[in-house]
Homo-oligomer: A and B are copies of this chain.
């Protein structure tokens, strides 16, 4: 398959593109991460999300340790070709390393504090054994 679609992505100065993962069934935004060209190509090949870990400086096949892979059902790019949106099936129902469904579990409350408002589904100790 042609790689023209990869050339159309407007990679940033680090060769990365921001990626939003959204659960297809619920519409919940699960997480935000980054991909480089290789990660995006691998994601399309595998049909599962493969990100670029900026902290570890390597490809990160989401779920490789936890089993919480993300099956890609739909892939979108925005009007500027510089942000990717994945609609996924979240295996295990847990996207966050804290054991929660979504990484966006802290809400800004009326008094201004950030407060965790979503439950831990599974303890990280039991996820990363």
By a beta-carbon cutoff of 8 Å, the part of chain A in contact with chain B is 1-2, 4-5, 8, 18, 20, 22, 26-29, 31-32, 44, 74-81, 83, 85, 96-98, 100, 103-108, 111-114
Contact = CB atoms under 8 A, between A and B. Distances in A.
Given A27-B26, A27-B28, A104-B85, A77 B5 contact: no
A78 B107 contact: no
Closest 6 CB pairs of A and B: A27-B27, A76-B104, A75-B108, A78-B103, A32-B83, A85-B104
A42 B42 CA distance: 40
Contacts of A18: 18, 32
A112 B45 CA distance: 11
